[in-house]
Amino acid sequence: MDSKATAHVEHKLAVPTQSLGENTIGIDDEALLQLSEQIPNFANVVEKAHRASNFEHNLTNRDAFKIFPKAIGFSFILSLAIIMEGYDTSLLGSFYAYPTFREKFGVHTEANGYQVTSNWQTGLQNGTNVGQILGLIFAGLIADRWGYKKTMLGALVALICFIFLMFFAQNIIMLLVGEVLCGIPWGAFQTLTTTYAAEVSPIVLRPYLTTYVNLCWVTGQFISAGILRGLLGRTDQWGWRIPYAIQWVWPVPIVIGVLFAPESPWWLVRNGRTEDAKRSLNRLSRPGISEYDADDAVALMILTNANEKLSREGVTYWDCFKGIDLRRTEIVCCVWMCQVFCGIWYGGNIVYFLQQINFSNEQAFNFGLGLNAVGWCGTVCSWFVMQRVGRRRLFVTGLGILFSILMLVGFLGIPSGKNAGISYASAALLMVFVFTYDLTVGPVTYCLISEIPSTRLRIKSTVLARDCYNVASIVANFLNPPILNPLAWNLKGKGGFIWAPLCLICFIWSFFRLPEPKGRTPAELDILFEKKVPARKFTKFEVTPFRSANFEVVSDTTAFTEKY
């Protein structure tokens, strides 16, 4: 840019910043000038970026499914990895109520037969969470350097090896080691699947592809419940070994899918490989669609990435806690902790809960199977509800309903003695609890944690958020087993009173701090956070990325002109 054009811009910077309107915000003048100096053919890139932004905002569900079937397919394939995590975490929780597992790894008591002690229940579940924390940290570092595909393939191969430890476990310590090691690739899947889904999809598809991750989680739990119910009659060691062996089924088709999947175009742009990013976008879309231009999409990515580089020093974990990114990190971390502290550890552990309130093994596992079917339906329903009411309203409303249910279950648990009516009422309320969770808090979380972070820090922010989830899970694993275990607190329904205050805290936080990202491109969200717009006012502002309050870019790459 020549000195004459620069002087012209500097003159325009002195004009009062009112031309965009009271509720319209855009990029800062100084940032726009810096971008123009860094990006060759800047005005042309901005023009393409605006076309891409308009295309995304005007894209309907029907057109998106027509144009991007490959993006949907590849995202679905990678997200299948979460089925394995949902399967095993549900498997472990249900095994505490499983007769052959308790005989192998539990201790005998006169009053309650074989039981896995509360301490070992906590230890096994926390072992998985420790492994996931390590896996998340490693995945964040490796994926930023080597890409999604190589990181996913490495995690899948590692998981195939680690499953052997759980299948051949001879004692509970060997089982614990297997859970810790399997947690490492599971941690990688948690961040890679969600962020990949967000980076290969347009705005309108993000709710479907990101919340599909939650559906895979629920599907894994559903499969786990069905397999355990089918094997309930076995009294030999295969009653618990077969469920572990089934985990070898998932990695094979996923590995094949990953080998054919294109790399994330956002990752390619962040690493300066713009031509590869265009090829990736073309592979993700249907050929011959005149309305869609990969060049325009890459231009928007280039500008968004360049603007984020101006306001951030780097892409390390430490950068997530600097400047405006601190607020974004707080949001994604708290949102994922809300998944735990809303009480799902208590409400979702229905098989073990029902056994403690005098249901038979068959009745408890039948309820567990039905509960997972209810959760699956809830997640599918969230796809349609979220597009209408948005993320924030659905999340906050869900927490309010979950708090009410926990209080009701707590009050129903106060009467002493055996009462079939109260037991069935508690079971019914917990089914409503799980349906509400999988309609609101559960799937919405995956959408929020993929949308709220900046694109350059998306992987790192997701890693930190999921680590917070795992830390919260460790707390829950210390808290929940003694609530239900007959050898510990044995609170049964009154455990609702323990979880309800935590759910209330989540509700209050989300009401005041959770913004609405629905319908926003990453560039628009960057500006909303840079301007420090309050969470409850996100929907009241129109955002014009790469247009300043004082001037706009025109086709001449060496000049700016006044808007009005």
Instruction: Categorize the per-residue pLDDT at 87 as very low, low, confident or very high, splitting at 50, 70 and 90.
Output: confident
DSSP annotation of 285: S
CB 479 within 8 A of CB 118: no
Residue 10 has a pLDDT of 38
* Residue 561, beta-bridge partner list: 552
Residue 558 has a pLDDT of 39
Q: Where do we find the tokens 């037969």?
A: 113
Q: How many helices (H) and strands (E) in the chain?
A: 26, 6
CB 100 within 8 A of CB 239: yes
| Residues making up the chain, counted from first to last | 564
| pLDDT 10s digits, 270-328 | 999 999 999 999 999 988 777 889 999 999 999 999 988 887 657 788 989 988 899 99
- For the chain, give the mean pLDDT: 84
| pLDDT 10s digits, 320-372 | 998 889 999 999 999 999 999 999 888 777 776 676 666 777 777 777 777 77
Which H, E and C letters describe 403-428, residue by residue?
Answer: HHHHHHHHHHCCCCCCCHHHHHHHHH
Residue 1 has a pLDDT of 39
pLDDT of 98 higher than 70: yes
| Of the candidates 294, 59, 310, 106, the residue with the CA atom closest to the CA atom of residue 200 | 294
pLDDT of 186 higher than 70: yes
CA 464/CA 453 separation, integer angstroms = 11
Instruction: Categorize the per-residue pLDDT at 431 as very low, low, confident or very high, splitting at 50, 70 and 90.
Output: confident
pLDDT of 214 higher than 60: yes
Domain locations in the chain as residue ranges: 61-275+298-513
Q: Where are the alpha helices (DSSP H) in 494-561?
A: 496-513, 522-530
Three-state SS for 509? helix
CA 530/CA 157 separation, integer angstroms = 41
Three-state SS for 40? coil
pLDDT of 495 higher than 60: yes
pLDDT of 15 higher than 50: no
Which pair of structure tokens corresponds to residue 369?
């199977």
Instruction: Categorize the per-residue pLDDT at 92 as very low, low, confident or very high, splitting at 50, 70 and 90.
Output: confident
CB 47 within 8 A of CB 557: no
Task: Read off the pLDDT of each residue in 447-451 and give the average, rounded to a whole number.
Answer: 92
CB 224 within 8 A of CB 243: yes
CA 41/CA 47 separation, integer angstroms = 10
Residue 481 has a pLDDT of 73
Which pair of structure tokens corresponds to residue 91?
């498997």
CB 541 within 8 A of CB 23: yes
| Of the candidates 265, 301, 295, the residue with the CA atom closest to the CA atom of residue 523 | 301
How far, CA to CA in Å, does 304 sit from each of 115, 455, 521? Answer: 55, 8, 9
How far, CA to CA in Å, does 76 sit from each of 72, 114, 490? Answer: 6, 41, 41
CB 465 within 8 A of CB 190: no
Q: Where are the alpha helices (DSSP H) in 80-236?
A: 81-95, 99-105, 118-146, 148-167, 172-199, 206-230
CA within 13 Å, CB half, 284: 30
Task: Read off the pLDDT of each residue in 8-16 and give the average, rounded to a whole number.
Answer: 35
CB 431 within 8 A of CB 374: yes
Instruction: Categorize the per-residue pLDDT at 417 as very low, low, confident or very high, splitting at 50, 70 and 90.
Output: low
328/36: higher pLDDT: 328
pLDDT of 9 higher than 50: no
CA within 13 Å, CB half, 282: 12
Choose the weakest-confidence range: 192-206, 293-307, 325-339, 471-485: 471-485
221/139: higher pLDDT: 139
Instruction: Categorize the per-residue pLDDT at 507 as very low, low, confident or very high, splitting at 50, 70 and 90.
Output: very high
Residue 356 has a pLDDT of 67
CA 38/CA 127 separation, integer angstroms = 48
Residue 412 has a pLDDT of 86
Q: What is the pTM of this model?
A: 0.82
Residue 99 has a pLDDT of 79
Phi, psi (rounded to 5 degrees) for 27 = -70, 150
CA 80 to chain centre: 14
Concatenate the DSSP letters of all residues of 45-85 into one string: HHHHHHHHHHHHHH--HHHHHHH-HHHHHHHHHHHTHHHHH
Concatenate the DSSP letters of all residues of 226-262 into one string: HHHHHTTT--STHHHHHHHHGGGGTHHHHHHHHHHSP
Residue 560 has a pLDDT of 39
Residue 341 has a pLDDT of 94
Class of the CATH domain delimited by 61-275+298-513: mainly alpha
| Of the candidates 327, 347, 547, the residue with the CA atom closest to the CA atom of residue 431 | 347
Instruction: Categorize the per-residue pLDDT at 16 as very low, low, confident or very high, splitting at 50, 70 and 90.
Output: very low
Cβ-based neighbours of 557, under 8 Å, separated by 6 or more: 41, 42, 43, 44
Task: Read off the pLDDT of each residue in 70-91 and give the average, rounded to a whole number.
Answer: 87
418/124: higher pLDDT: 124
CA within 13 Å, CB half, 441: 28
CA 452/CA 431 separation, integer angstroms = 30
| pLDDT 10s digits, 43-68 | 888 889 889 998 998 999 999 999 99
pLDDT of 233 higher than 80: no
pLDDT of 487 higher than 80: no
Give the burial class of 287: count Cβ atoms within 10 A of its Cβ; 0-12 exposed, 13-18 middle, 19 or more buried.
Answer: exposed
CA 423/CA 4 separation, integer angstroms = 80
Residue 345 has a pLDDT of 83
| Of the candidates 187, 235, 82, the residue with the CA atom closest to the CA atom of residue 473 | 187
Instruction: Label residue 552 left, alpha or beta by phi (over 0 means left) and psi (-120 to 50 means alpha).
Output: beta
pLDDT of 493 higher than 80: no
DSSP annotation of 271: T
CA 452 to chain centre: 11
Instruction: Categorize the per-residue pLDDT at 549 as very low, low, confident or very high, splitting at 50, 70 and 90.
Output: low
Helix (H), strand (E) at residue 553: strand 551-553
Question: Between 391-412 and 361-389, two packed helices, what is the crossing angle to 10 degrees?
Answer: 150
Q: What percent of the chain has pLDDT over 70?
A: 88
Residue 106 has a pLDDT of 79
Choose the weakest-confidence range: 2-16, 231-245, 518-532: 2-16
Helix (H), strand (E) at residue 329: helix 325-339
* Residue 114, beta-bridge partner list: 108
